[in-house]
Amino acid sequence: MRFGLRHLIDDELAPRIAESRGFYEAAGRREQPDLTSLDGLMQTRAANAIRPSGALSRTVECLVEAPDGHVPVRIIAPENGASRAVYLDIPGGGFFLGLAARGDVRNAQLADALGVTVVSVDYRLAPEEPWPAAPDDCETAALWVLEHGEDLFGTFRFVMGGASAGSNLALTTLLRLRERGHGDRFSGVVLQFGAYDLSGRTPGGRLYADEYFIEAHVGHVSDRTNPDISPLFADLSGLPPALVIVGTLNILLEDNLAMAARLSSAGAEVDLCVFPESPHGFTLHPTSMATDARRVIESWTAERLI
């Protein structure tokens, strides 16, 4: 068996490489945000704030409750036809940026392409609300959609997706649901370029161990190998099929390869898709490589709902 990076990349993506390389070379000349300090985090949060006009009018905002808490969510239903599933979206943002409204446009596209209702979680943010606030909120939202899927959305089908910190939270949410006896309720999970080892104990985790977002989120925790913080160290048995998306230019590449391997060894069905010349967050960028990745996400998710 050969396990090399070049064997994990689809040859059909080769024509996209030159365009992606040109786009990111141009983007690299722009001033990059400082994410190594609290001031840098707050400036980035302010710069990424969504004005009211940036949100979609079809989005429904509400506060949902489960036995252990409440959390605001944003709900986008498909424009045409009934919903065949609920897609629980957990946004990224290094645990400090969040803001579910930033995903409205993409979530509307996902809702219409798949005929699903997207519920996006506005979980609490670090450093004001560090761990376990974010996973607590995501668990609350997940329990709410499981309880109300039929009466509010007319479906028993559920999928979950996260990006960056959201992928970490998606896995910790699934692990919490498994402990509650709901491990089989989600048909699949989409994991985009997640951060899975916040302890810095593994080779992949050491590459980003000095990032300030870790200090903001779990600086008060002595053992960051806690699976609720670093799901790479969890017992991953009994989890649903997973799609792992990551780019070769992402500092989290090794972390994602390790997570895909651990999920597979635990018995999960795993599809790993590595995209060349693609950095962190590339699926949100205006490149044909990103378009291909979004198509993979849509087609993979659709297959889980057959």
Domain boundaries, the chain: 5-26+54-304
pLDDT band at 32 (very low <50, low <70, confident <90, very high): low
102 to each of 37, 105, 123, 284, how far by Cα in Å? 23, 8, 13, 11
Residue 136 has pLDDT above 90, yes or no: yes
Q: Is pLDDT above 70 for 84?
A: yes
Phi and psi at residue 191, to the nearest 5°: -115, 105
Q: Using CA atoms, how far apart are residues 211 and 129, in angstroms rounded to an integer?
A: 18
What average pLDDT does the structure give for the chain?
A: 91
Decide if pLDDT at 1 tops 80: no
The percentage of residues in the chain with a pLDDT greater than 90, rounded to a whole number, is 80
Whether residue 54 has pLDDT greater than 60: no
Q: Once rounded to an integer, what is the mean pLDDT over residues 176-191?
A: 96
Q: Cβ(122)–Cβ(133) under 8 Å?
A: no
Q: Residue 29: pLDDT above 80?
A: no
Model confidence at 53, pLDDT cuts 50, 70, 90, reads very low
Residue 36 pLDDT: 61
pLDDT band at 159 (very low <50, low <70, confident <90, very high): very high
User: Per the confidence metrics, is the pTM higher than 0.85?
Assistant: yes
Q: What is the mean pLDDT of residues 194-207?
A: 97
Residue 304 is predicted with a pLDDT of 96
**Mind spelling out the 3-state secondary structure of 145-197?**
HHHHHHHHHCCCCEEEEEECHHHHHHHHHHHHHHHCCCCCCCCCEEEECCCCC
pLDDT band at 148 (very low <50, low <70, confident <90, very high): very high
- Say if residue 285's pLDDT is above 70: yes
The whole-number pLDDT of residue 57 equals 84
pLDDT tens string 222-279: 999 999 999 999 999 999 999 999 999 999 999 999 999 999 999 999 999 999 999 9
Q: What is the second-level CATH architecture of the domain 5-26+54-304?
A: 3-Layer(aba) Sandwich (3.40)
Backbone angles phi, psi at 247, to 5 degrees: -105, 155
Q: What angle do CA 101, 280, 255 make, to 5 degrees?
A: 115
pLDDT at position 252: 96
pLDDT of residue 52: 46
Q: Identify the pLDDT of residue 98.
A: 73
How far is it, in rounded angstroms, from Cα 183 to Cα 166? 18
In the predicted model, what is the mean pLDDT of residues 136-145?
98
